[in-house]
Amino acid sequence: MHSLEIKDLHVSIGDKEIVKGLSLTIKTGEVHAIMGPNGTGKSTLSKAIAGHPDYTITSGDVLIDGKSILEMEPDERARAGVFLAFQYPSEIPGVTIANFLRAAQQARLAEGEELDATAYYKKLYSKMDLLKIDRKFTSRAVNEGFSGGEKKRCEILQMAMLEPIFSLMDETDSGLDIDALRIVADGVNAQRGEKLGVLLITHYQRLLDYIVPDFVHVMWDGRIVKSGDKSLALELEAKGYDWVKKELIHT
Amino acid sequence: MKPLSDPETLAPAEEAAVENPSVGIDQSAGNFSYDVTYEFDAGTGLNEKTVRYISSVKKEAQWILDFRLKALKTFESMPLPTHWATKDLENIDFNKIRYYLSQGQKPKRTWDEVPDDIKNTFERLGIPEQERKFLAGVEAQFDSEAAYSNIKDIVAKQGVIFCNSTEALREHPELFRKWFGKVIPTSDNKFSALNSAVFSGGSFIYVPPGVKVAQPLQAYFRINAENFGQFERTLIIVDEGAEVTYMEGCTAPKFSTSTLHSAVVELVAMKGAKIQYITVQNWASNVYNLVTKRGLAHEEAEIKWIDCNLGSRLTMKYPGVILKGRKARGEVISIALANDGQHQDTGAKMVHAADETTSTIVSKSISVGQGRATYRGVVHIPKHLKGCKNNTECDALLINTNSRTDTYPAITVRGDQHAVQHEASVSKVSEEQIFYMQQRGLTEGQAMSLSVNGFINDLARQFPMEYSVELKRLIDLEMEGSVG
């Protein structure tokens, strides 16, 4: 079992503090959902963990199995098992999905070791079959001219191929119609298990109908203000975020 | 034959570059020079004596000597094109250049003397050991003589002539003289005049009517079998309905002791003929590479230049096609990568001179660090023609914030029965894109390389397989120093 431990984390963009002391531990085999209104720092949290250069961690720590990852470059964190499914994935013109994933796999091998191309394609095609993705998809340039649904599916395919230990899924449901949402959720559920810890970041409860979380946390103004099980999400859906706000003021 | 002057007492050619650090970097870094004794050496500087000397060493006919001497006068009378081109040209000291060298003896350097970083470059490019020694100048001759004569013999059965220019001038003057200097007149520019005065080496190809040469003819073998030419002169004539593909250069860095390289390449495609000319060059960073390349396309003929420029201090090269016959087609596909201290000034010239002629220009440039890439193009369609088409597309990619790119497209279209399209774009590899790729486990350098390779991917695919694979590796190497 592995753990991703976020300890009293403070994150700033420029001079502005966005995450203001957040603590959370995720273990493999668990699915945690973070919910909250826009602008509370949910995406900032995931990007800071992944090591985005625009986000400064002013205090606190992020540890994998007790070892801090904050001194690591984004690519080192990725190779250590952290995967970020982007809310807005970048386009990489001229680089096909097949070549991109191949380069990403190659980067995980020791120097001088060559990726076995046959085994790679075998794995790629089996994951694509699992996610019901057409073979032609991989010869397209990464995210270039993709619809919202295609972009998210591409993220899920990458996650399936790279087999991370911890997956941070940033608003994976945004911009998806109900069919696309179901496909993406099926993809995540297929990968769910003892070997994977998931942090689902979402604005709406809707996604949680398809990916049922073990824990739900409500984020407000840079902190987790309420935690519970999946019923918390339903309560939120019924009462709205104002309910949390009022509770906060009263306590 | 004795050298005009004693080479031992002369300053090395690199000194000119070191003395003029106008590009803001120490030009001596990465240079390397060795003492080499040349059998034939025209000494430094250029005058009538130099030209007569070259001509006599090559045992040339009187008309060639006259041609050279006339070209020398033209060269001397022409100004440098610095009213539009970079002032860096003024740093060329014509008096310090050796205009003719013939390596008769084995060089005295050994493999152990070759710097480690250069050995590493060869290693990473996967260049066979034998070739490494040649490229590093450890061996005077790369043993490719056999490969070359093999190709030569195969195509000779179809009546194709493939030899060096010196040999062609001796053996086939009737073919050579008819087109020599006709596509690119001596006075075209100062450097074509210089080449006309002191040319040496280069290829000559003649393909008889209707013959389609199945395999690409490679200068790589031919040039390795002699010296790298400093002032190469290439003439390719493809007769009616015939076809040929010619490849020159290699992606391995060329370590040259001479700082000025000025080639002239003339192509002639007769009615319905097809010529594809592929160049991949990677010069040492002290080299001025000032090349004039032009093709003449007769009726329904097709000339395609595929040109890839890496390295050098300054490259100025604008392959052109004169579309002389009805329905002739011209195409230039170019990739340029300018790294720190380098200026790639490249582009294309399309001169429409008949009805229904078509030209296409696709140019992609990458500027790394303080590198500068310039696209300079001319498309000329005069009023009296009809049904001409041009499509120009130039895309620039900037890697660092201090990288530079310029675009100077000059499209002159007169008359109203033509279709012309021009598209240009400048993009930068964004931080978000790099972060995205890093998040998948690629290092910053690997991410940068992959982005650049993606940018040129559609053009690189048009290169022969082995070239595009090498090109990818080279870009990986070039990009390594660009991050951090």
DSSP code of residue A28: T
Number of domains chain B contains: 3
- Can you tell me the mean pLDDT for A136-152? 92
Sign of the torsion formed by the C-alpha atoms of B307, B309, B312 and B318: positive
More confidently predicted of B169 and A204: B169
Res B380 pLDDT > 80:
yes
Residue B131 counted as domain residue: yes
| A89–B440 C-beta distance less than 8 A | no
Does ipTM surpass 0.90 in this model?
yes
Mutate to test the interface with B, among A92, A142, A169 (most CBs of B within 10 A): A92
| Cα separation, B61 vs B56, whole angstroms | 9
B288 touches chain A (CB under 8 A): no
Residues of A in contact with B436 (CB under 8 A): 86, 89-90, 92
Res B158 pLDDT > 60:
yes
| B458–A92 C-beta distance less than 8 A | no
| pLDDT given for residue A215 in this prediction | 97
Contacting B with CB below 8 Å, chain A residues are 50-54, 73-75, 78-79, 83-84, 86, 89-95, 99-101, 103-104, 107-108, 141, 158, 162
Residues of A in contact with B455 (CB under 8 A): 93-94
- In degrees and rounded to multiples of 5, residue B201 shows phi and psi of 80, -170
Residues of B in contact with A51 (CB under 8 A): 438-439
Are B42 and B53 in contact, with CB atoms under 8 Å apart? yes
Q: Which residues contact B94 (CB under 8 A, 6 or more apart)?
A: B45, B46
| pLDDT given for residue B96 in this prediction | 81
Last residue of a domain, one of B76, B110, B135: B135
B110 touches chain A (CB under 8 A): no
Residues facing A10 on adjacent strands:
A20, A59
Residues of A in contact with B451 (CB under 8 A): 92, 95
| B457–A95 C-beta distance less than 8 A | yes
- Mean of all residue pLDDT scores within chain B: 82
Q: Of B38-52, B89-103, B123-137, B209-223, give the lowest mean pLDDT range.
A: B123-137
| B435–A74 C-beta distance less than 8 A | yes
Calculate how close chain B gets to A244, using CA atoms only, in Å. 34
Res B137 pLDDT > 70:
no
B458 touches chain A (CB under 8 A): yes
Are A48 and A9 in contact, with CB atoms under 8 Å apart? yes
| B438–A75 C-beta distance less than 8 A | yes
* Distance spanning both ends of chain B, measured CA to CA: 54
Residues of A in contact with B435 (CB under 8 A): 52-53, 74, 90
Residue B64 counted as domain residue: yes
| B433–A91 C-beta distance less than 8 A | yes
Task: Convert the pLDDT of each residue in B313-350 to its tens digit.
Answer: 999 999 999 999 999 999 999 999 999 999 999 999 99
Are B285 and B259 in contact, with CB atoms under 8 Å apart? no
If asked whether residues B31 and B104 sit together in one domain, one would say yes
Residues of A in contact with B472 (CB under 8 A): none
| A90–B430 C-beta distance less than 8 A | yes
| B432–A92 C-beta distance less than 8 A | no
Q: Of A125-129, B282-286, B436-440, give the lowest mean pLDDT range.
A: B282-286
| A95–B450 C-beta distance less than 8 A | yes
CA-derived radius of gyration, chain B: 22
If asked whether residues B330 and B447 sit together in one domain, one would say no
| pLDDT given for residue B269 in this prediction | 98
Task: Convert the pLDDT of each residue in B203-229 to its tens digit.
Answer: 899 999 999 998 888 765 444 333 445
Both tokens assigned to B383: 């009023």
| A108–B450 C-beta distance less than 8 A | no
If asked whether residues B42 and B119 sit together in one domain, one would say yes
Residues of B in contact with A158 (CB under 8 A): 440
| B450–A75 C-beta distance less than 8 A | no
| Cα separation, B458 vs B463, whole angstroms | 10
B453 touches chain A (CB under 8 A): yes
Decide: residue B219, CB within 10 A, 0-12 exposed, 13-18 middle, 19+ buried: buried
If asked whether residues B217 and B335 sit together in one domain, one would say yes
Query: Mind listing the domains of chain A with CATH numbers?
Result: 3-89+165-250 (3.40.50.300)
- Can you tell me the mean pLDDT for B365-389? 94
Beta strands in B343-478 (DSSP E): 343-352, 358-367, 372-381, 389-398, 404-413, 419-428
Q: Of A19-23, A74-78, A209-213, A236-240, give the lowest mean pLDDT range.
A: A236-240
Residue B2 counted as domain residue: no
Residues of B in contact with A89 (CB under 8 A): 436
If asked whether residues B96 and B205 sit together in one domain, one would say no
- Mean of all residue pLDDT scores within chain A: 92
pLDDT over 90 for what percent of chain B? 54
Task: Convert the pLDDT of each residue in B305-315 to its tens digit.
Answer: 999 998 889 99
Q: Of A100-109, A198-207, A237-246, give the lowest mean pLDDT range.
A: A237-246
Residue B24 counted as domain residue: yes
Mutate to test the interface with A, among B427, B439, B443, B479 (most CBs of A within 10 A): B439
Last residue of a domain, one of B135, B166, B196: B135
If asked whether residues B289 and B250 sit together in one domain, one would say yes
If asked whether residues B186 and B297 sit together in one domain, one would say yes
If asked whether residues B424 and B434 sit together in one domain, one would say no
Closest-CA residue in chain B for A79? B441
Residue B140 counted as domain residue: no
Q: Whose structure tokens read 């009293």?
A: A8
Chain A, chain B: beta-carbon pairs less than 8 Å apart: 77
If asked whether residues B199 and B122 sit together in one domain, one would say no
| pLDDT given for residue B473 in this prediction | 79
B484 touches chain A (CB under 8 A): no
Last residue of a domain, one of B95, B113, B135: B135
B95 touches chain A (CB under 8 A): no
If asked whether residues B110 and B200 sit together in one domain, one would say no
Residue B343 counted as domain residue: yes
- Can you tell me the mean pLDDT for B92-109? 66
Task: Convert the pLDDT of each residue in B236-268 to its tens digit.
Answer: 999 999 999 998 875 555 555 567 889 999 999
Calculate how close chain B gets to A12, using CA atoms only, in Å. 18
Rounded to 10 degrees, the C-alpha dihedral B156/B160/B166/B169 comes to: 120
Residues of B in contact with A86 (CB under 8 A): 436, 439
Record the pTM: 0.81
If asked whether residues B93 and B159 sit together in one domain, one would say no
| A54–B439 C-beta distance less than 8 A | no
Residues facing B125 on adjacent strands:
none
B468 touches chain A (CB under 8 A): no
Question: Could you tell me the pLDDT band of residue B111, with boundaries at 50, 70 and 90?
Answer: low
| pLDDT given for residue B40 in this prediction | 61
B105 touches chain A (CB under 8 A): no
Residue B1 counted as domain residue: no
Closest C-alpha among B453, B399, B396 to residue B425: B396
B433 touches chain A (CB under 8 A): yes
Calculate how close chain B gets to A97, using CA atoms only, in Å. 11
Closest-CA residue in chain A for B460? A94
- Can you tell me the mean pLDDT for A101-108? 95
If asked whether residues B44 and B192 sit together in one domain, one would say no
> In which domain, by residue range, is B21 found?
7-135
Res A237 pLDDT > 60:
yes
Residues of A in contact with B439 (CB under 8 A): 50-51, 74-75, 78, 83-84, 86
Closest C-alpha among A209, A173, A226 to residue A40: A226
Q: Of A12-26, A178-192, A221-235, give the lowest mean pLDDT range.
A: A178-192
| pLDDT given for residue B464 in this prediction | 77
